[in-house]
Chain A
Amino acid sequence: MSEQITIEKSLRDWASRVKAGQVGALPAILGLLVLCVVFGSMSSVFFTPGNFANLLTQAAAVIVIAMGLVFVLLLGEIDLSAGYAAGVCGAVLVILITEMDYAWYIAFPISILVGIVLGAGIGYLVAQLKIPSFVVTLATFLAFQGLLLLLVSEGGTIRIEDPVILAVENKNLSVSASWIFFLVTSGIYILTGLWKFAKRRKAGLVDSLFKFWLIKTLGLVAIGAVATVALTVERSNNPDLVSLRGIPYVVPVILVLLVGATFVLTRTSFGLHIYAVGGNAEAARRAGINVKMVRISAFMICSGFAAVAGMIFVSRANSISPTTGGSSTLLYAVGAAVIGGTSLFGGKGKVSDAILGGLVVAVIDNGMALLGYPAGIKFMVTGAVLLISATIDAISRRGATTT
């Protein structure tokens, strides 16, 4: 049996899945490549290590909000207030640290707890009272904006000087730590993959995707290696004065969130129930799943992630302001999830989509700014990309239903 399983067959399997509407991350990867080539050829700055590190720290907060949003989007719901939830939780964090002198390791968990409580409130209104999530979160969008304004007080900003919080977006792993980080993460990734295949083989289940997985893994490790090289070269303009090398701290933070959230979604029954409720809530209910609890939990997770994003915002700006998490943040986050391949109709998506889509959004933002385009053009291009992704999603849904 095993000799028939060739790369060719895995690729054919994969091609048929693409045709059947399961395009997955393909459009986002292609889009990212095209954007990088275009901006790289037009701007001499785009492909510099300094800009690469900058891109990651720019994208981080939106990516984290988008990762949380994936849970809500999988249910076919939406959370429009996740951006301001990040702002409110960031404000709580800053107030606790700057004005009340709490240590970061007490203040940060409290701010996450605040996020989870906000999410529980939204989830209760949506799941128990059956108010459409669009309306509930439109209301909380306004309410959280007001709450943030009250916390920070109009026109003012509150600075933060906690070195740990500031380090997340402003400091880097040392060069050796960067390489250790790369080796450990890729090692764990490869080993868990191999372990999964070994377990399936032991259970006597045939796999046609092993070689495909191998290619994918090698590709990812190669990308990781290139990124680590790029991030460990000196990127300071004045290396004698201040050295800038290594992976930004925010990268491992995001990776931990990615691994945790992916584990929950793909390996636990709770994750399966999220997909089930998003796919067919009535079927899930009849199968004995507590649909209300699943809904409420998803909103809690979403706002919890928003709280982490709030910390990243605060770290990047060194302060909290009444507009933190406002303006286009939430729309970029929803855009990131959808561009990455998460469906707005529910039931389809992955946490890694948020990272891929978030990078696309950040590359557009970053590249067009480098080329000197005004913000107006930037928004219009981002809007167009989002529209294209939504179109791909809608068309692929049509291809996926057979009857």
Chain B
Amino acid sequence: MTEPILSLRKVNKSFGPVHVLKNVDFDAYAGKVTALVGDNGAGKSTLIKCIAGIYTPETGEFIFEGNKVTIAGPRDATALGIEIVYQDLALCDNLDIVHNMFLGREEKSGVTLHESHMESLAKKTLDGLSVRTVKSIRQKVASLSGGQRQTVAIARAVLWNSKVVILDEPTAALGVAQTEQVLKLVRQLADNGLAVIVISHNLNDVFQVADNIAAMYLGTMAAQVDKNSVSQGDVVRLITTGKTEVSAGAK
């Protein structure tokens, strides 16, 4: 396999006496979707928050594009081109799509907002993601459907020529058709050359969209495997027992 764009080596993170991440290794590849699976409390969220700079691990190495880096805060992660799309999307309902996409990083000409420039950039990004479902990019986010909101949140993440996009349960709250739409978008991101990391509990989604599956078990990385080399049953076993092989006695 090609060199990973982002590698984590022997990452440890504790909250007081609770050792949440134990020597975790993790790789993400440009142009590939890496699914991060694991049971509740396995450490998925903590791991991505370490990548996004929200938590700082006690020990461990981050290697980004072949160089050792330290991520001390969210700004460091953003500067490297790592963007995260939270499960609750973090959109402002009362603002339109353009303003949401540029929130906190507005384009300005002098003291005023450069509205037309932002609008064309936003349009270009949405077009690049083959998004056709949004009627007007000047409509308020409040009037969008769940899938469209997810689209806006993802578009915001890729607007900044980001290299790694982390999606936290992007399909958790969506219906069948919208899930399909978002998964297609996730695939599109990877095809555009980004490294995509998706947290998901839905193995059907994982097998549909991922190239690579990283399974966590009680704070350790049970295995990171190629999708085509495992079955859904194998992944379930990884999630529930942390082991790859079927033990001889089990039926």
B120 proximal to A (CB < 8 A): yes
The reply to whether B145 and A278 form a contact with Cβ atoms under 8 Å apart is: no
Contact mask A272-284 → B, CB, 8 Å, 1/0?
1101101110111
B105 proximal to A (CB < 8 A): yes
Contact partners of A205 in chain B: CB under 8 A: 116, 119-120
Chain B, Cβ-Cβ closest to A278: B94
Contact partners of A203 in chain B: CB under 8 A: 116-117, 119-120
The reply to whether B90 and A402 form a contact with Cβ atoms under 8 Å apart is: no
Which of A96-104, A229-237, A285-293, A332-340 lies at the interface? A285-293
Contact partners of A284 in chain B: CB under 8 A: 92, 103-104
Known contacts A20-B143, A22-B140, A288-B105; decide if A401 and B93 are in contact (CB<8 Å).
Answer: yes
Q: Most A CB atoms within 10 A — which of B86, B92, B115? A: B92
The reply to whether A348 and B94 form a contact with Cβ atoms under 8 Å apart is: yes
The reply to whether A347 and B94 form a contact with Cβ atoms under 8 Å apart is: yes
Contact partners of A279 in chain B: CB under 8 A: 92-95
Chain A, Cβ-Cβ closest to B54: A286
| Number of CB contacts from chain A to chain B under 8 A | 85
A20 to B86, CA, bound (A): 27
Query: Given B90, B95, B104, which contacts A275 in the complex, CB threshold below 8 Å?
Result: B95
B146 proximal to A (CB < 8 A): yes
The reply to whether A347 and B93 form a contact with Cβ atoms under 8 Å apart is: yes
Contact mask B98-133 → A, CB, 8 Å, 1/0?
010001111010011101110110000000000000
A280 to B142, CA, bound (A): 12
A90 to B113, CA, bound (A): 35
The reply to whether B103 and A287 form a contact with Cβ atoms under 8 Å apart is: yes
The reply to whether B116 and A276 form a contact with Cβ atoms under 8 Å apart is: no
B74 proximal to A (CB < 8 A): yes
Query: Given B88, B93, B104, B112, which contacts A268 in the complex, CB threshold below 8 Å?
Result: B112
The reply to whether B90 and A267 form a contact with Cβ atoms under 8 Å apart is: no
A302 to B85, CA, bound (A): 35
A400 to B93, CA, bound (A): 9
Contact partners of A200 in chain B: CB under 8 A: 115-116
**How many Å from the CB of A164 to the closest CB on chain B?**
30
The reply to whether A401 and B108 form a contact with Cβ atoms under 8 Å apart is: no
A199 to B119, CA, bound (A): 12
A279 to B113, CA, bound (A): 19
The reply to whether B106 and A288 form a contact with Cβ atoms under 8 Å apart is: no
Interface size counted on chain A using CB atoms at 8 A: 31
Query: Given A269, A286, A347, which contacts B113 in the complex, CB threshold below 8 Å?
Result: A269
A204 proximal to B (CB < 8 A): yes
Chain B, Cβ-Cβ closest to A269: B106
A2 proximal to B (CB < 8 A): no
B19 proximal to A (CB < 8 A): no
Chain A, Cβ-Cβ closest to B106: A269
The reply to whether A283 and B103 form a contact with Cβ atoms under 8 Å apart is: yes
The reply to whether B104 and A289 form a contact with Cβ atoms under 8 Å apart is: yes
B91 proximal to A (CB < 8 A): yes
B75 proximal to A (CB < 8 A): yes
B144 proximal to A (CB < 8 A): yes
Query: Given A204, A283, A400, which contacts B142 in the complex, CB threshold below 8 Å?
Result: A400
A287 to B106, CA, bound (A): 11
Contact mask B56-93 → A, CB, 8 Å, 1/0?
00000000000000000011000000000010111111
Known contacts A272-B103, A401-B142, A403-B145; decide if A280 and B92 are in contact (CB<8 Å).
Answer: yes
The reply to whether B93 and A272 form a contact with Cβ atoms under 8 Å apart is: no
The reply to whether A269 and B108 form a contact with Cβ atoms under 8 Å apart is: yes
Contact partners of A199 in chain B: CB under 8 A: 116
**How many Å from the CB of B122 to the closest CB on chain A?**
11
A282 to B91, CA, bound (A): 9
Query: Given A273, A287, A402, which contacts B145 in the complex, CB threshold below 8 Å?
Result: A402
Contact mask A202-242 → B, CB, 8 Å, 1/0?
11110000000000000000000000000000000000000
Chain A, Cβ-Cβ closest to B107: A269
The reply to whether A283 and B90 form a contact with Cβ atoms under 8 Å apart is: yes
The reply to whether A287 and B142 form a contact with Cβ atoms under 8 Å apart is: no
Chain A to chain B: the 4 pairs with minimum beta-carbon distance, closest first: A287-B104, A279-B92, A203-B116, A279-B94
Listed A/B pairs (27) with beta-carbon separation below 8 Å: A199-B116, A200-B115, A203-B116, A203-B117, A203-B119, A205-B116, A205-B120, A272-B95, A272-B99, A272-B103, A273-B104, A283-B90, A283-B91, A283-B92, A283-B103, A284-B92, A286-B74, A288-B74, A289-B104, A347-B92, A347-B93, A347-B94, A348-B94, A400-B140, A401-B93, A401-B142, A402-B142
Q: Given contacts A284-B92, A403-B146, could you give 13 more A-B pairs where the C-beta distance is less than 8 Å? A: A202-B116, A203-B116, A203-B120, A205-B120, A269-B106, A272-B99, A272-B106, A273-B104, A280-B90, A283-B89, A287-B104, A288-B75, A400-B140
